[in-house]
Homo-oligomer: A and B are copies of this chain.
């Protein structure tokens, strides 16, 4: 599984290198910031794991069987590169919203610009960084659609890819709005709303979209596409539930994040919803002083962890993940023939999602 995605990442990286070489020349004709932006977007995109990009190839392979070679393979790589550019654009904007100065082990893109502006002695350099970051994210989206628009795929395939991608990204935007609105205290979300948020903000977009895009490229029929969509949804929600679990119970040495970071940030995870509903009045009060409080220590984190265990919340959420894993297995069996390498990769992805601790 890892080697499959590593190979795809290698192909997509090669594509991006050639693409940015060409675009840097084109955008330099606009002005010198064009080349500079290409270099930043390129470096930033290369730091991703490129799971989304790799899933395009996997979806195509599932749909076309052994037929996903030659021309089709090139189309997979180009579409995968577009997925990665869209992800870069979303992350660049996300970091502005969250004021995150580090991403993918680099300074976040808007912060790179803020530092550049500060170096030139510009007043209000942080805001200029944000503004340039907004533009940079926008350009990343436009480059992605330029790739999809220029794809030398059969017409109905190309059209479907553009429409599918644009539609799904619209969902991501609206889900992101709810996420930051709820995170800032603008709305309380019921459990089902949290799950829907997981589905639309990352789940479908990270798994369903690239799998379906690949399915379309591989000539898959409506039934296969529907199965890929559902499989992506299941994998996506599992991934997010696991993310929450790691955010709560994860080991700082493994995750590289401070212990209980989700608690300190007051993240509106499914755990948070369960706790709010199930804790008694006294516990509620204590929880209120803990969630969203960056000053809390080990003791408070342990308190929340114990509560999540003792109220049966961890078990129950694990149960949800297990159920989704069961349907994922069924869907994997439905889309990929027994013994096929594709089935192995998909199972590997599922197992990894379930077992990962960071």
Of residues 126 through 147 on chain A, the ones whose CB sits less than 8 Å from some CB of chain B are 128, 130-132, 134-139, 141-146
User: Is A43 in the interface zone, CB < 8 Å from B?
Assistant: no
Known: A31-B178, A175-B30, A184-B122. A159 touches B170 (CB 8 A): no
A52 at the interface (CB under 8 A from B): no
Collect the chain B residues with CB atoms within 8 Å of residue A136's CB. Answer: 173, 177
Type the 1/0 row for A92-103, where 1 means its CB is closer than 8 Å to any CB of B.
010011000000
The SS class assigned to the A binding surface is helix
Partner of A196, one of B31, B122, B148, B162: B31
A197 touches B (CB below 8 Å): yes
**For the complex, what is the distance from the CA of A265 to the CA of B45, rounded to whole Å?**
36
Please give 6 more A-B residue pairs, beta carbons under 8 A apart, in addition to A30-B200, A158-B158. Answer: A122-B186, A132-B181, A138-B169, A141-B142, A145-B145, A146-B163
Q: What residues of chain B lie closer than 8 Å to A196, measured between beta carbons? A: 30-31
A356 within 8 A of B: no
A19 at the interface (CB under 8 A from B): no
Contact in complex: B171, A117 (CB < 8 Å): no
C-alpha spacing A151/B139, complex, angstroms: 23
Q: Which residue of B lies closest to A175 (CB)?
A: B30
